[in-house]
Amino acid sequence: MPIYSIDFRPFDYLTAELSALWWFYLSQGLALIALGVAVIIWPELLAFLAAAFFIAIGIVLLVLGWRVRQVKRRYELFKRSFIIEA
């Protein structure tokens, strides 16, 4: 009989979330291997890939920053709707 009771639910949730995206991790790994081989074969490709990566990440961060700002604004409005002034 165990002395301590362990709640495995957080771990179950984590493993469920990670295993749901197995195909995403697999495709990323394959793509990175292919890019690595391509850079070895064509070294000048590295500069193009780095520039494309920087541009893509910059766009993603701009969109993410804008979305975070919108979510914060909506959350503040939502919070204010529950505050009753005396």
Over residues 29-60, the pLDDT tens digits come to 999 999 899 989 998 988 998 999 999 999 99
CA 76 to chain CA mean position, Å: 24
Closest CA to 31 of 51, 53, 60: 53
Catalogue the long-range contacts made by 59-62 (C-beta closer than 8 Å, 24 or more residues apart).
Answer: none
| pTM reported for the whole predicted model | 0.50
Residue 80 has pLDDT above 90, yes or no: no
User: Cβ(40)–Cβ(46) under 8 Å?
Assistant: no
pLDDT at 58: 94
pLDDT at residue 3 in the model: 66
